[in-house]
Chain A
Amino acid sequence: MNEILLSGTRSSPQREAAARAIGCRARRPARTVRCILALPLLLLSPLPVQAAARLNVVATLPDFTSIAGAVGGDLVQATSLAKGSEDAHFVDPRPSFIRVLNQADVLIEGGADLETGWLPPLVASARNRRILPGQPGRVALASHVQLLEVPSAPVDRSQGDIHAAGNPHFWLDPVNGEKIAAHLADVFARLDPPNAARYQEGRKLFCDRLARKLAEWKRQMEPFRGTRVLTYHKAYEYFAARFELEIVGQIEPKPGLEPSPTHLNALIQRAREQGVKLVLVEPFRARKTAEHVARSIGAKMLILPEKAGGAENVKDYFGLFDYAVAQITGALR
């Protein structure tokens, strides 16, 4: 990259990439002239930033950012649109996101309609071909993991906010984290081939650490296998499946709907009969109802972040499970 000496100043990676694309080789007079002639074009043309020094990765959720950062290391700059503390289905499509997406080389979304209420108009306004659907820089992770609760019978909106593609909270299974990392390493490698080996190396380091941590988490959770729990929303299905908790029901009667007293009474009755020990609630949910349910069945209510950043000491993807496992084992001990 240092071989290009167009103006004496250090040229940006974008321009360097473009210079390479038009065949510039510095210190060869004829070509230098050609480079200079092409310079206005370089300044004006929207360039694919495929060979930028750092891949600008924008993810909808902080968990994807965390994994992307682990895989890409200092080769990527990873940003998250949603905050870990907020409801990922209802993020505001702030104008500032348009600016962020305009600069992105990669857009990672969960998919399965998780971000359908806010992401499409942002992408439509971003004027960035690299992140349009179908481009290598547009990643919908849901199509690279096995989704749970894919409706087998016809669905309509009378059943609440059911996602026709399946439950979109898939990152809460560490095994899916491994698949996400593998896919991201492939995506980054395709966009930045010279560093392909480093992305695979990052993936391996991440996956090895995840495997070690998973074994540890499973060991810690082992004594509580089969514990029956209630959840507020169908957000913990993947976590429960991996760590063998049994979900007895949800406080929401249907996804996205607030509970009626009739539903709560029936739920409390059933939870009592089945000996439910925990009520798992995302940090942004109204706590009063969940507290009432937990109290009525003699269970403990746990505020359990479902995204990195969902609690103060949940910094990244590993922290998410560290925290959840510590909370659950602490409550059941």
Chain B
Amino acid sequence: MKTGTLLQWWCALGLGALPLAAQDAAELEKLQKQLREAQENFERVTREQRQLIENLARQVRELQRQGAATNVMPAAAPTGPTNAWRPSDPLRIGSKSAYADIGFVGTIAVGGSTASDIEGGLQPGGHDPNQRGFTLQGLEMGVTGAVDPYFRGAANLSFALDAEGETFLELEEAWLETMSLPWNLQLRAGQMFTDFGRHNATHLHAWSFVDAPLVNARFLGPDGLRNPGARIAWLTPTPFYSELSFGLQNSQGETATSFRSEGGHHHDDAENEDPPLAYRHADNDRGVSHVDDLLISTRYALSFDLTPSQVLLVGGSAAFGPNSRGGEDAGETTTQIYGVDLTWKWKSPRHQGGFPFVQWQTEALVRKYEAGAFDWSEEGAATDPNVVVDTGTGAPAVLSGETLVDHGLYSQLLYGFRKGWVAGLRADFVSGNEGSYERRALTYNGTALGRDPQRAQRWRLSPNLTWYPTEFSKIRLQYNFDDRLGIGQDHSVWLQFEFLLGAHAAHRF
């Protein structure tokens, strides 16, 4: 208030200098009143201005504190929903509210092989490269999202072209899964891959090699073991991760190879040259009358962090169900498949984009397959095409029932040596006991039969190199050395390209 005081004195002096003689007391009083008013006015204005200045200074400080960023860079409130969909947004139904994410993955291979029986022979996997030149291994469409507060859902449709150029569509998966069932349970129902080992439930785009492991293609089927059904999985209350699952699925259909799949080209054209599995058709289909006529599967997996940068996951799986191999009255033939798997991964504690890492994954499987008795005379005369003939008698063969035991494994090592680059090596081996039917002298379409090509020993060695320009694309070069008993050695080179469009759900470990 120093200024105010000075002004007061100045005014007082100025007034004091006036000639007082001519003034009466009233005027003096009036002037004094005016002075008081001026003084009060001045103080009020000063106070107000000071307050204003303080307020502004506080606001400036606040803005500097909160929004220093905005001075340097454009910022926007993240909470404001931007509902408008733009053509460049991820393909997402209900953008921002995430009703469902849609993604496409296209996988194309180009290459060649010294083998002439690539589709189904050299390459038994349904999404393997199937011919010299180009193969559209798959165009997979995935839709995932929360169904409601209780379920999430996923669907995978896969389009592919076979060697004849025909487009086929597979319904790979379509299931819903519970989100918060009591007792640490989780229920999944719908069309789904059987929870068996590591590779079976893996979609094409997540494979580390161009083709499926031989043991998987042979025992669990070219397209993997999958069927409509339900599965319950329990996260056990152990201090480490451990999960036990139990599944029931239909046991028939072409995706239930080893079970009630017709297989063996029973209805194929007459020019078909391959004899069916176990040299007999699958006519013994007893249908479903009991729960054990369904495909029953179970898996137990447990995992430990060996060190902060090493993870070990081991699992055991089993699948049981009827098969229909053999004549119509061959009895209750069944299949049992057992598998163990081991995955070990090291990832640098200072990884960049997930690199470097080393991963070793191995699966070993055993299949016990009961092939029922079969009488080829019911299929036609010895002179008819596609009839297995006993070379000794010249009559259609009569095969007795027997249990076939097959085993196989693959082991793969991946080394992500620098960001985006992975070198891989996989060894494949499959074999089986020699069935009594294989020791007999049989002919099929005029050709002598020996070891069953669908059970004979074979092995493969596959080194490859993959470059991931980003998480959304990859280019892979793979060489396969194949050695098949009774057929010989083959060399194949495949170059694979893959692209991912739209949203894509993250993968599990």
Binding site for B on A (CB under 8 A): 44-46, 83, 85-87, 89-90, 92-96, 98-99, 102, 112, 116-121, 124-129, 132-134, 142-143, 145-150, 152, 154-157, 160-161, 164-166, 173, 175, 237-238, 240-242, 244, 246, 256-258, 283-286
Contacts and interface: CB of A to CB of B under 8 A. Distances in A.
Contacts of B65: 175
B347 interface: yes
Contacts of B393: none
A201 B447 CA distance: 87
Contacts of A45: 182
Contacts of B347: 86, 92
B269 to A, nearest CB: 44
B308 interface: yes
Interface string B360-403: 00000000000000000000000000000000000000000000
A225 B239 CA distance: 50
B13 interface: no
Secondary structure type dominating chain B contacts: mixed
Contact of B79 (A133, A143, A240): A143
A152 B470 contact: no
Given A102-B184, A152-B74, A90 B68 contact: no
A98 B238 CA distance: 12
B303 interface: yes
A85 B350 contact: yes
A99 B235 contact: yes
Contacts of A129: 179-180
B184 A127 contact: yes
Contact of B350 (A86, A119, A134, A237): A86
Given A87-B351, A87-B354, A258-B419, A121 B76 contact: no
A166 B76 CA distance: 9
B14 interface: no
Given A96-B304, A99-B240, A244-B68, A87 B353 contact: yes
B75 interface: yes
B505 A120 contact: yes
B349 interface: yes
B303 A46 contact: no
B89 interface: yes
Contacts of B420: 258
B78 A237 contact: no
B507 A121 contact: yes
A116 B79 contact: no
Interface of B: 65-79, 86-89, 146, 149, 152, 177, 179-186, 235, 238-241, 243, 301, 303-305, 308, 311, 313, 345, 347-354, 418-420, 470-472, 505-509
Contacts of A132: 149, 179-180
A233 to B, nearest CB: 9
B350 A92 contact: no
Contacts of B149: 132, 134
B305 A125 contact: no
B68 A95 contact: no
Nearest to A102: B235
A142 B78 contact: yes
A90 B351 contact: yes
A81 B471 CA distance: 22
20 contacts: A83-B308, A85-B350, A87-B352, A93-B509, A94-B303, A96-B303, A99-B235, A102-B235, A124-B152, A127-B181, A127-B184, A142-B78, A143-B78, A147-B76, A147-B78, A155-B88, A240-B72, A241-B71, A244-B72, A284-B350
A24 B350 CA distance: 51
Contacts of B507: 93, 121
Contacts of B86: 154
Contacts of A155: 88
B66 A95 contact: no
Contact of A284 (B74, B303, B352, B418): B352
A129 B352 CA distance: 32
Contact of B183 (A46, A89, A134, A143): A46
A173 to B, nearest CB: 7
Given A161-B470, A257-B470, A156 B88 contact: yes
Nearest to B304: A96
B198 to A, nearest CB: 12
B419 A46 contact: no
A99 B146 CA distance: 22
Nearest to B311: A94
In the A-B complex, the 7 residue pairs with the smallest Cβ-Cβ separation, listed nearest first, are A129-B180, A95-B303, A90-B354, A241-B69, A95-B241, A156-B88, A150-B76
Given A94-B311, A95-B313, A154-B86, A121 B75 contact: no
A46 B183 CA distance: 6
Contact of A242 (B69, B238, B311, B506): B69
Contact of B78 (A112, A241, A284, A286): A112
Contacts of B75: 146-150
Contacts of A128: 180
B103 to A, nearest CB: 12
Contact of A121 (B88, B470, B505): B505
Given A96-B305, A146-B67, A154-B87, 17 more contacts: A87-B353, A90-B351, A92-B509, A95-B311, A96-B241, A102-B184, A112-B78, A117-B471, A121-B507, A143-B79, A148-B73, A155-B88, A160-B470, A166-B78, A175-B68, A241-B71, A244-B68
A93 B69 contact: no
A84 to B, nearest CB: 9
Contact of B69 (A173, A258, A284): A173
A246 B72 CA distance: 8
B183 A44 contact: yes
B506 to A, nearest CB: 5
Contacts of B66: 175
A127 B179 CA distance: 6
Contacts of B182: 44-46
A98 B241 contact: yes
Contacts of A112: 78
A51 B506 CA distance: 33
Given A99-B241, A102-B184, A89 B353 contact: yes
Contact of A286 (B181, B183, B419): B419
A120 B65 CA distance: 35
Contacts of A89: 353
Nearest to A168: B78
A155 B420 CA distance: 23
B353 A165 contact: no
A295 B36 CA distance: 74
A118 B78 contact: no
Nearest to B72: A241
Contact of A96 (B67, B73, B183, B240): B240
Contacts of A44: 182-183
